[in-house]
Structure 1
Amino acid sequence: MPPDDSQNLITMLDDLGIVTRSVEHPPLRTIDDSKRLRGDLPGGHAKSLFLKDKKGGYWLLVALEQTRVDLRSAASLLQAPRFSFAGEQALARLLGVVPGAVSPFAAINDVHGQVCVVIEQRVLACGLLNCHPLRNDRTTTIATSDLLKFLEQVGHPPRIIDLPEVATSA
């Protein structure tokens, strides 16, 4: 699938019987942009981190936008060597998206299964999740049960983890 071909993604979701709702908005590059410009959408809002472990493995960690992710704790939970953020070239090559458009939908582009998808348990508890459909000028709302169905269909059954709460300094 081409890097920004969100229409093919939506068509695939329709073919799977998955109901989604998409809204257009100005391009969102950060969570702060998203909070300011996305409008009032029901459900949780995804934060997707594209990570690389010390041994060269790739991970797509999906959490709620308000979750502070401690990479050391996440790596330990997943029994992975130390995490760092993967580069833009790997992001484009493996997930076919640009920074700011990363979401669990990008798993559709990892046709060789090189990326392990991980979802924070609190994401599933939301019932509805909002994330970018391979481009950052749209947000698509999907039932979390349907997101799991989609990920299974594209060969990326996710690992579900409980991320520890990280205290924020006042």
Structure 2
Amino acid sequence: MNETARLTVYRTLEELGISYTIAEHAPMHTVEDMMNATLGTQGTIAKNLFLRDAKGRRHFLIVVRWDKNVDIKTLRTVIGSTALSFGSEERLMTHLGIRPGSVSPFCILNNTEKNVEVFFDRDLAACPLVGVHPNDNTATVFLTFADLERTVRHHGNPATLIGIPEA
């Protein structure tokens, strides 16, 4: 458990006056783990993809509903990138300060250079509550999509709401 990372998230939410609930649980490494633990009954679980462009100059955090399979080939055109691939564990730690299994939009709070571009799927915006890890996979925070997006924008990273293509 990364208590410091969690506290950073909670402090930020409180500073912004955002209402949220927390579900504590055993470590969850995948969205499937979260669904099997019935966390999806409390809100829509978000799936997060950390991607990079062909030369590794641009990095992206793609946030969609847990059940959406993203067409990465088409996505590159939609976001104006070269070929996309998943960022390595090393890049994930360098840019978002997190290990695989704990990635969430709140990881943006660790991106001091504010150079990771965030793309939220329009489908997720229609959900009443969204569940994401607070930079630690032993808890899930539930909040409105608008408040999640506001938290990312408040940090200063580019954040865009788009229709993310499905495979």
TM-score bucket of the superposed structures, by smaller chain: over 0.9
2:120 alignment partner in structure 1:
119
User: SS of 2:120's equivalent?
Assistant: strand
Compared with structure 1, are the counterparts of its residues 52 and 27 closer, same or farther at alpha carbon in structure 2 (3 Å cutoff)?
same
1:60 alignment partner in structure 2:
61
What does 1:17-96 align with in structure 2 at a 5 Å threshold? 17-39=17-39, 41-56=41-56, 57-96=58-97
2:13 alignment partner in structure 1:
13
The TM-score normalised by the length of structure 1 is 0.91
| CA distance in structure 1 between the aligned counterparts of 2:30 and 2:149, rounded to whole angstroms | 25
Please list the CA deviations of residues 3-61 of structure 1 after superposition, one character each: whole Å capped at 9, or x if unmatched: 95101210111111001111111101122211112545432110000001113210000
Compared with structure 1, are the counterparts of its residues 59 and 40 closer, same or farther at alpha carbon in structure 2 (3 Å cutoff)?
closer
1:156 alignment partner in structure 2:
157
Compared with structure 1, are the counterparts of its residues 112 and 40 closer, same or farther at alpha carbon in structure 2 (3 Å cutoff)?
closer
Runs of 5+ consecutive residues of structure 2 not aligned to the other structure: none
Runs of 5+ consecutive residues of structure 1 not aligned to the other structure: none
Q: CA RMSD in A?
A: 1.6
1:131 alignment partner in structure 2:
132
Q: Please say if residues 25 and 38 of structure 1, whose CA atoms lie closer than 8 Å, have aligned partners that are also in contact.
A: no
User: SS of 2:91's equivalent?
Assistant: helix
User: SS of 1:34's equivalent?
Assistant: helix
Q: Which amino acid aligns with 1:68?
A: N
Q: Is the deviation greater in 55-64 or in 152-161?
A: 152-161
Q: Please say if residues 50 and 85 of structure 1, whose CA atoms lie closer than 8 Å, have aligned partners that are also in contact.
A: yes
2:107 alignment partner in structure 1:
106
User: SS of 1:151's equivalent?
Assistant: helix
Compared with structure 1, are the counterparts of its residues 3 and 40 closer, same or farther at alpha carbon in structure 2 (3 Å cutoff)?
closer
Q: Is the deviation greater in 36-45 or in 4-13?
A: 36-45
Q: Please say if residues 5 and 134 of structure 1, whose CA atoms lie closer than 8 Å, have aligned partners that are also in contact.
A: yes
Compared with structure 1, are the counterparts of its residues 40 and 119 closer, same or farther at alpha carbon in structure 2 (3 Å cutoff)?
closer
| CA distance in structure 1 between the aligned counterparts of 2:4 and 2:136, rounded to whole angstroms | 6
Q: Where has structure 1 moved over 3 Å in runs of 4 or more?
A: 38-41
Compared with structure 1, are the counterparts of its residues 4 and 136 closer, same or farther at alpha carbon in structure 2 (3 Å cutoff)?
farther
The TM-score normalised by the length of structure 2 is 0.93
User: SS of 1:6's equivalent?
Assistant: helix
User: SS of 1:54's equivalent?
Assistant: coil
